[in-house]
Chain A
Amino acid sequence: MINNLINSLFEYWPVLWPALAAIGVILAVVPFLGLYMTFVERKIAAYVQDRVGPNRVGPFGLFQAIADGIKIFLKEQLIPDHVFTALYFLAPAFSLITAMFALVVMPFGPVATDYKDGFRFIVAPGIDIGILMMLAISSLSAYGIIVGGWASNSKYSIYGAIRSCAQFISYEIPLGLSILGVIAITGSLNIEKIVEAQSGSLFDWNVFWQPVAMLVFFTAALAETNRLPFDLPECEQELVGGFHTEYSGIKFVLYFLAEYTHIVTVSFLTALLFLGGWHFPGLPGPSGASTPILLLGLGVLLAKVSLVVLVIILLRWSLPRFRFDQLMGLAWKGLIPLGLVNLVGVAIVLSLGLPKHLLIATVILPVLGAYYSAAKFNASTAIPNATRQGLSPQGAVSYE
């Protein structure tokens, strides 16, 4: 019986070891990335606020992240009296598990779609529902927050959990809608094939014919990471710490590692689905390529990913937080109609057999939407003209 098991292990070994190796790479790199993203975030925050930022530990403060990590590992384990212990411990772990699990179907380097044996830059290659799987797993990441908030058994935590519930359910819909257009034209849910369809010239990248889809996807995905313009579940000014109010030490770190893993996932997905993945004009594709070409492709992909990460971090330090009704309004009145109109456009182009680059005209949609809502906002608030030009009696600053 055990022999059978060992035999089947041997039988599966050629397809098993690349997966195990890729899992090893992800497990090794992602926490490290998370650690260093805190450093990058602090540096960028400092520059945005005209400060210097961490610069004491190591050259340019590079070891600050490691020092922070060691410090937080050595913190005392505080367990409040009123929590439901088992779920209280499970929730942060579940949060990190779901965040990491979403990386299973995500290629983190050039992957050829003929899937040769040997090491590949993906854990599970050739999953034909790749992007759907990604959505499915990311929809589970709400559990970590909800269960954590509930198990903490304090009112701030539960408010955070409830807010996160509503936010997740609302933003799932535009997230799914936005990629439907890409899927419809590519004809596959497989992420590697979606990237392969963007090979060729620069203008084959999906962003050049699905700009609205990219906007909607990026916004909705950002909302699912609980980062600052959308950080209602943990906003410090209202809810102390939101769902992680009662967490300290290593459990708190798990939550934050999960958040940074989400950022990595979102950035990778944006780069893969819309920015051409590992393709760059002049660079040959990964099929049958030599190792230097593969490494170059990896570099291209990582460069695009870090660009998106930088945008996400900069967004955090430049945008104010939404009010909750604005948050819901953005999803239901902004993103979902945009996604639907975009999908209709794709359907028209597909069924009439038009060239897909006509769809770049959809870029006018968000502009029109923004103009319309701004006009509506101005009409509804009805600020007197004098105030609006900064000439109010108190000499107040302009609203615009």
Chain B
Amino acid sequence: MNPLPIDPKNLPLVSGDPFQGNLAQILLLVILLGAVAYLLLQHGLIKSKMMAWAGAGLFAFAALMAFTSIPMQLDSIVRMCFSILAVAGGVAFVTNREPVHAALGFATAVLSSCGVMFMQSAYFIAAATMIVYAGATIIVFLFVLMFAQKAQLQWYDVQLTSPVIAAAVSTSLLLAIAWSVSESGEILPVKLDLTRPYSLAAPGPSPGLTMPPVPEASMTQEQLDAFVPGKTSGLGRSMFTDYLLAIELAGTVLLVATIGAMVLAQKPERDLS
């Protein structure tokens, strides 16, 4: 099944440490500071190149600190490199003035996050992200940018129309993410519920489970297989039981988007008079 024979006591790639409380506070601080810095940037209060270099230096320092604090193993180093590349791609995406370059920065960020997911053994979600975001969405972005690009940069390439709203929305999104990852047990990464039949599919945590799931020596081969699902049916089962609500919501959003695309694609009626 797996090239690495699963030794339940020593899984190589699963790190189960939950976030500590003060880490959540640090995350909160970082997000708020980032929002303030972004607003200052947008209002033109920070203009000098020195500040940009200071930011880059801070990032390099943080990366160095992360490198020294992680265990020096092959997989953690590769994962760290992917993370740094992802952050760098994100920064390039936000700061670049050339739309095509910004889209390529976005692609870099998405692909590097896929690399992080691969290193965490989340193969399916990584491949799906690659297909949907990097393979389709960003290519459509590039398509539109190439078609619509003017010779010079327009004012809307350089300046945001409403930075305050953008900062507020993104701050609340980031806070939601930080909250959900720091509250251990709220979002369940893997579930080992082999008892629930398909027909009783319901969102939310299934009863009688301890999180995070850890493979134990007493597990049968079937349960270990469920931990590292090798069959497509396991994937489908998980999608339509554990993540039913998310799937249905995503389907609804896609349906609405399809209808919207059809409405937008209709040519406005010509005035023939």
Contact = CB atoms under 8 A, between A and B. Distances in A.
A129 B146 contact: no
Contacts of A146: 139, 142-143, 146
Contact of B130 (A137, A161, A190): A137
B152 to A, nearest CB: 15
B73 A165 contact: no
Contacts of A127: 123
Interface stretch (B54-62, B79-87, B175-183, B228-236): B228-236
B199 interface: no
Contacts of A209: none
Given A158-B146, A188-B230, A136 B73 contact: no
Given A4-B73, A169-B136, A133 B123 contact: yes
Contacts of A15: 3-4
A136 to B, nearest CB: 4
Nearest to A128: B230
A117 to B, nearest CB: 9
B102 interface: no
Contacts of A140: 111, 130, 134-135
Interface in A252-308: none
Contacts of A188: 230-232
A187 B233 contact: yes
Contacts of B126: 136
A168 B233 CA distance: 29
Interface in A1-28: 1-2, 4-5, 8-9, 12, 15
A162 B145 CA distance: 11
Contact of A8 (B3, B74, B131, B136): B74
Interface string B217-241: 0000000000011111100000000
B143 A165 contact: yes
Given A129-B124, A150-B146, A136 B130 contact: yes
Interface residues of A, number: 42
A162 B2 CA distance: 41
B15 to A, nearest CB: 14
B147 interface: yes
B51 interface: no
Contacts of A158: 146
Interface string A137-175: 101101100110010000000100110011011001000
A135 interface: yes
Given A5-B72, A158-B146, A162-B146, A143 B139 contact: yes
A128 B229 contact: yes
Contacts of B107: 143
Contacts of B164: none
A191 to B, nearest CB: 13
A372 interface: no
Contacts of B109: none
B72 A136 contact: no
Nearest to B143: A165
B232 A189 contact: yes
B139 A169 contact: yes
Nearest to A133: B127
Contacts of B2: 115, 126
B232 A8 contact: no
B180 to A, nearest CB: 25
Contact of B139 (A125, A168, A189): A168
A226 to B, nearest CB: 15
Contact of A162 (B72, B135, B136, B147): B147
B136 A139 contact: yes
11 contacts: A5-B73, A8-B75, A15-B3, A126-B2, A128-B230, A139-B135, A143-B107, A147-B104, A147-B142, A169-B139, A176-B131
In the complex, the 7 A-B pairs of residues with the closest C-beta atoms, listed nearest first: A139-B135, A136-B130, A8-B73, A4-B72, A136-B127, A132-B127, A5-B72
